[in-house]
Structure 1
């Protein structure tokens, strides 16, 4: 289950009768619902300002801010964020500080989240990072906090968010705390956590090994990247800006580990149990941006030689968790005049709670992000002892131990002891019910056990303090490739692909991030490349530092005239530096490349509309990979063959996933059953095939081997199933399921009836709440095209089920926004978000972009002051205090 979904379901802490009464009161007392709504027009006084600020909002409530200094721009941004999104900001800072229990009260899921975040120490690291920032960066964060506090300082909680009124029925609402600059920095840890690379694959391999007993079978579930079929971001190896000399971060040799040695090192009961404890603990952290392999993004940039305007075009649509309100807040930050004191002229997508623009453009450069997917986390098995020591290179050394106290609204505080080793915090400690007993046997060849047991620590680049907090400002001011590289050196976590374009006609790619250099360990019992947990008692597995910024992959103006970065491998096989062995399989990126290449070959000039069409492409990669095998299976049942015929029609249509597609319905139902029939009997408890790109690659390769052991259902005694029998069962079961849910006539089935976008509130979501609360905070579901690994990546999990136990195709992650920037005419650019600008359910701007987002429409993105004023629906003047 998604971490955020688990939290939502557990946070239903308000008695149904009380909530029903409260909401019934709200229904007749519209004033209570509207009380938190801000005034976006007129004149307001903000004491912290140095001079007056003008704010123009368009008909969707998007603010464009004009000020005379950088500090006043940030104060005004903090002010409008607080106007529209303060509860979201407050929720985020409670999560990132491990203080969620203070906000929502006594609740197991909230407490578990606090336990893990306190163990990892997100807030502690953010406080250390504050000291590393430049004076200028600190002044901007302080100015932002002043703006937030100028708005919230004179208002009680019920005037800042309707959520406080509802939560107040069962918790004692504490006074709203002033916003601190470190609250903003801590949000960077949540970003880095959700975008952390191969964390799940590393635990998954180890977990699968214990059940399967063979390293080879476990590795079959994590196939290597198909370099021959899906081009990397940089199809030809080139380090930095063209330096092809040897670099740090050579790939460690995973082949050095023999299967038996891995089993010996990781297959014993204490190791496997400790890893399971770690996995359970870490899954307690609520998802803030998204998780799993469906979290990715599309981005591409096309040189002016191939565009209608003659200047570069840049497109980006980050695939993240879809909640209400949506993740992004659109805003423009403009200096009335560019001076030494005022340096910003930028617009785009921000995070409420953070100053600056995360993705967008200024007057010289546009940029987009996709998740790089580099491996920045490693798990270490630790030999710990009851006397507070652990084993390190043959000696017992003291654990680093600290106490943490978690305040719980309405209940007693909870105190925990956080233990850390040289490798990082011990995460398997966090959930006591999953702790490993000291008496569990250990595998042969392990260090002397004594009264010890295995624990699991986590080493993560984001736990090393850095200066990512400055990177956003550097990007906001960047004008060329050198500026982007400078900003990338600061952008340490999360590690992201950056594509960019300039008004001067350049297009480029830059990989930022703090990437560990892993050691090659001779005669290693386990791979040292980060794909498996490592023995923490042996320092030869330690990281050897970071890949130098100048050796990170980069490219400027490639000969082919475009760059696609959609979470695929960055460099060719064996490329340097070593980033990870667990890439997204690259189906989306290859499809985007094919569409752009086709337009270029046909002499079609790409414009803003065409760029949007590419992002909305809904051709499924699953169809051409799986359907030939499905339709070749004899099915002696006319009732089932009616549905199988849909697959043949769907194939002839080109495998579309539009909302009216009957073929998409049947195929996805078949795919869900195929995964269940093939893998459920073999996977360890708690693991399931979610149907993403990795599983498509796995099944593609299995289809070539009709008698592979994966096809056999181990639950059927004295029967050995082969490929065709499993495919047949999937076809039959899917037909039966859809008949029960959508009717007997397959031609009447429609993908959009099952595949819907249903954003939910992070605290007041969940289908167990009374209907009035759901209606108030959770927008009405809408039908959407697309699917998992489709370019229009409205992803779902094939392992999800609804309340009746049926497959649930509800969208969980997808394009959280879409933007296209035309460097020839910035006012011709377009954008849209998945919900709206406001976080207040009583505002029209809470949901006023949903329908456009769902149907693939976008809105004008004015940038010049003339265009901004022309599009303005309301104007607010913030006056400085006397």
Structure 2
């Protein structure tokens, strides 16, 4: 027995030593890819020495003797810190993820191959002016210089992930940068799925008048009534809610198209001199995207020949997308422009290679594309195009639910342009000195369409930038639902003139702003969009702006971090109108007592979505359960697609706008339920869920426990053990409808996780530009072993910022490293 025990001890000790050795070895190889920021490198393709000064937040300040050398160094800096992220963005755009991940990503690759954005990106490079092409070439050379350094210096393959997903790393090309911008359009666009959902909902509803409730128009000018989808497509069978299949909302973290409600969002506002206490203008911007580790944005400063530029960049793209130079600041917000249309194309029954056009039958343009799959045979797919755009297969985007027999769907989309000069517009914007210059630069912007907010030292302005489809006023569905591509009135006629895009310069009120709200009240086709990203935050923003006669940098920061929900303040009195302080006292431990305690807490709450309070969780769970009860009996499984609460829908129901209170009656039950009944039952539903998940002590609940920010690694975030190193989780305030927006997941076991929020915040004061501040959601490095992987994340969570200065002395004074780049000697 003693001998056996000794051998067990020896074996256990050996296993522990082997585990420790394996851990140390893995750590060593992973750490090899950490860059040395104090290195001197001789690199090919550089014309003169360049300095990359990294300040105490690891923000690179790049100083060179030509713009080409500066962009070269930016490419090298991006690759040093985010090579894996850049590689994944490029592979996603190319539709080549399956070469690394196998069958898991075949569907993703198939969708991106059908969009064919990489071909469009290659062709777009030639459409840009020579200066932009030179910048793209220089940037690509800088990325490739770091890849060469990794290969020559055995630097751990450039990123720890490369050890797990080893594959040949192709040289960076100018088209790769253009493709990443187009990929951003993929991630920011939602009109395709919105059209499909509207059509599916129209088929499911017996009363078509109720479509305007669940998919409401935002307040403003009304629209003429549209036909229901069944009358547009009479051959399509009516689908009953009980049998209709709904797609699952949960998707692979690598899936580039956002679920409904999680497309791009943002805030931006500016104050002119008349509304500023500083004597000059102010500008604030915080773009909202899906949270990830690392975050999408990367801070950088470029010293161009036209002067310094500093702000947020996206690794892989040689642009400061949001930021400032010495004279001008600019911010971007998702415009929600309706830049996508689904065309129903009739296939020739006598010849499947043809489809119907206004002028008769025409041949599909076709091309085969091979998807190579790791550890599996390659798959060849047949790509098709009509005059309206690429053909999508019925198994994508739930198109099988609405496809009439003998037809296919083609996608019209401005982002698929082969003459995309968006990067050229960004280059001009970085060099602009006035609001007028910035607006002029926006003319070359194609996609993704944005609302550009501008401030120079004296003036503020705003302009919708991006190509706006030119639709016929007689368009059958006004672009809201799929429509037949052979009807001439349904087809695009190019894009509208840039001068027609909505814009404002030096408004009389002295303030401009956008929270993805409706920006123009104009009849179709000058309407911009039927679907907007916000109808709630704008109300809180308007109040905060008008509460002060003049503003400061601090008041703009305060607004950016505001967590009061206008939605909660306006809806709770409606849905609880007949419940507050009613009924007899209930016994301790009963559902009735718990409901009374919840109502008491909510009655004394000011609507602040603070992470430390219980009321936001009770309110959010109640609203979620309420919407589900209202729509589940009418929509059946399709109700799962409505994962986020639509405040305008709840308001219409409880105010009985145009008979919307009909949603409160459960169709399958004999009694006639009132909205008060449904409000009470849904509150009980919410409290049952809260009790099962967090316990029945309501006062001890914390919104932040449910509303964790999920900065997850898109590849390793679900891997056991590794997820402890690569994921960043934080308790956060805010919610779906607050200015400090923390959009919730909406579905799954943790529906209130914060999955979509500000990935960048910046506030610029042109009375003292170097007092401007900014922050990103994680850190500069994409390397989990770097101290710069998550160092900015805690500042971001607490609502803190770092300086945004163009003063070289300040950057050098706190530098954590200075990289010297030297032209390679002959």
Aligned to 1:238: none
Q: Which residue of 1 aligns with 2:15?
A: none
User: What residue ranges of structure 1 are gaps of 5+ in the alignment?
Assistant: 1-20, 168-172, 229-250, 336-341, 443-451
**Cα separation, partners in 2 of 1:127 and 1:687, compared to 1, 3 Å:** farther
CA–CA distance in 1 between the matches of 2:62 and 2:246? 45
Q: Secondary structure at the match of 1:688?
A: helix
Supply the distance in 2 between the matched residues of 1:324 and 1:285 (Cα, whole angstroms). 12
Q: Deviations over 1:437-459 (max 9, x none)?
A: 9xx996xxxxxxxxx61211111
CA change 1:22–1:297 in 2 (3 A) is farther
Match of 2:790 in 1: 847
Deviation of 1:581 (Å): 1.4
Could you tell me which residue of structure 2 aligns to residue 512 of structure 1? 465
CA distance in 2, matches of 1:877, 1:441: 59
1:244-393 pair list within 5 angstroms: 254-255=224-225, 257-259=226-228, 262-266=229-233, 268-269=235-236, 286-288=254-256, 292-294=260-262, 295-335=264-304, 342-385=305-348, 387-393=352-358
Residue in 2 that maps onto 1:165: 163
Alignment of 1:783-822 (within 5 A): 783-798=731-746, 800-802=747-749, 807-822=750-765
Task: Say whether residues 1:871 and 2:814 are aligned partners.
Answer: yes
Mapped partners of 1:290, 1:51: distance in 2 = 43
Query: Measured at CA, do residues 858 and 657 of structure 1 come closer, stay the same or move farther in structure 2, by a change above 3 Å?
Result: same
The residue number in structure 2 matching 1:698 is 649
Distance of aligned partners of 1:434 and 1:554 in 2 relative to their CA distance in 1, 3 Å threshold: closer
**Cα distance, 1:688 vs. partner?**
2.7
User: How far apart are the structure 2 equivalents of 1:565 and 1:22?
Assistant: 54
CA deviation after TM superposition for structure 1 residue 283, in Å: 8.0
1:365 to partner: Cα distance: 0.2
Cα distance in 2 for partners of 1:684, 1:674 equals 15
Which piece of structure 1 moves more, 322-331 or 377-386?
Answer: 377-386
Mapped pair 1:54 → 2:18: no
Q: State the match for 2:144 in structure 1.
A: 149
User: 1:68 maps to what in 2?
Assistant: 65
CA distance in 2, matches of 1:147, 1:870: 26
Quickly say closer, same or farther: Cα 1:281–1:656, change in 2 above 3 A. Answer: closer
- 1:473–1:776 distance in 2 versus 1, CA, 3 Å: same
1:757-772 maps to which residues of 2 (within 5 A)? 757-766=709-718, 769-770=719-720, 772=721
Determine helix, strand or coil for the equivalent of 2:415: helix
Counterpart in 2 of 1:859?
802
Give the Cα–Cα distance (whole angstroms) in 2 for the partners of residues 606 and 416 of structure 1: 57
C-alpha distance in structure 2 between counterparts of 1:560 and 1:573, whole Å: 21
Bigger Cα displacement from structure 2, 284-293 vs 61-70 = 284-293
- The Cα of 1:305 is off from its aligned counterpart by 2.7
Question: CA contact under 8 A between 2:347 and 2:355: conserved in structure 1?
Answer: yes
CA contact (8 A) 1:392 1:537 kept: yes
Deviation for aligned residue 1:161: 0.9
The alignment covers a number of residue pairs equal to: 789
Is this contact kept in 2: 1:461–1:516, CA < 8 A?
yes
Counterpart-to-counterpart distance in 1, 2:100 and 2:634: 41
Asked whether 1:462 is paired with 2:399, we answer no
Structure 2: distance between partners of 1:324 and 1:801: 21
SS at match of 1:319: strand
Which residue is 2:664 aligned to?
Answer: 711
Tell me how far 1:741 sits from its aligned partner: 2.5
Other-structure match for 1:204: 197
Contact 2:30-2:159 within 8 A present in 1 as well: no
Residue 93 (structure 1) aligned with residue 40 (structure 2) = no
Q: Structure 1 89/400 Cα, relative in aligned 2: closer, same or farther at 3 Å?
A: same
Q: CA deviation at 1:26?
A: 3.4
1:501 alignment partner, one of 455, 464, 471: 455
Which deviations, in whole Å up to 9, do the C-alpha atoms of 1:314-338 show, x marking residues without a partner? 0011111000000100000014xxx
Equivalent position SS for 1:812: strand
The TM-score, its normalising length taken from structure 1, stands at 0.85
DSSP 3-state at the match of 2:493: strand
Shift in Å, 1:643: 4.7
The change in CA–CA distance for 1:742 and 1:278 in structure 2 (over 3 A counts) is: closer
Question: In the aligned structure 1, how far is the partner of 2:246 from the partner of 2:176?
Answer: 27
Deviation for aligned residue 1:625: 2.5
Q: Is the 8 A contact 1:209 1:267 kept in 2?
A: no
Stretches of structure 2 that go unaligned for 5 or more consecutive residues are 1-17
Alignment partners' CA distance in 1, 2:671 and 2:267: 45
Shift of 1:760: 0.8
Conserved? CA contact 2:708–2:754, under 8 Å: yes
* 2:125 is the counterpart of 1:182: no
Distance in 1 between residues matched to 2:213 and 2:516, nearest whole Å: 21
Bigger shift: residues 628-637 or 297-306: 628-637
Q: Go from structure 1 to structure 2 and tell me whether the alpha carbon gap of 1:584 and 1:388 turns closer, same or farther (over 3 Å shift).
A: same
Match of 1:193 among 167, 183, 186: 186
Aligned counterparts of 1:794 and 1:571: Cα–Cα separation in 2: 26
Give yes or no for contact 1:113–1:285 (8 Å, CA) kept in 2.
no
Distance 2:81 2:20 in 1: 21
1:622 aligns with 2:567: yes
Q: Residue 471 of structure 1: which of 410, 416, 425 is its match?
A: 425
Q: Secondary structure at the match of 2:551?
A: coil
CA–CA distance in structure 1, aligned partners of residues 682 and 776 of structure 2: 37
The 8 Å contact of residues 191 and 289 in structure 1, kept in 2 or not, is answered as no
Residue 577 of structure 1: SS of its match in structure 2? coil
Partner of 2:5: none
In structure 1, C-alpha distance between the alignment counterparts of 2:425 and 2:597, rounded to whole Å: 54
Give the 3-state SS of the residue equivalent to 1:182 in structure 2.
helix
Q: Which residue of 2 aligns with 1:421?
A: 386
Cα distance change on mapping 1:635 and 1:712 into 2, 3 Å: farther
Alignment of 1:576-595 (within 5 A): 577-595=526-544
1:658 Cα offset (Å):
0.7
TM-superposed CA distance for 1:310, in Å, is 1.1
Q: Is the 8 A contact 2:652 2:661 kept in 1?
A: no
CA shift at 1:52, angstroms? 1.0
Which residue does 1:547 correspond to in 2? 496
| 1:668 matched residue in structure 2 | 620
Q: 1:23 to 1:515 in 2, by over 3 A?
A: farther
SS at match of 1:795: strand
Cα distance change, pair 404–147 in 1 and its aligned pair in 2 (3 A)? same
TM norm structure 2: 0.90
State the Cα deviation string for residues 188-236 of structure 1 (Å, max 9, x = none).
11111122253332111101112114432223222111239xxxxxxxx
| Corresponding position of 1:5 | none
| Preserved contact between residue 631 and residue 644 of structure 1 (Cα < 8 Å) | no
2:552 equivalent in structure 1: 607
The 3 A distance-change label for structure 1 pair 28 and 205 is: same
Please state how far the C-alpha of 1:70 moved relative to its aligned partner: 0.3
Cα shift at 1:117: 0.7
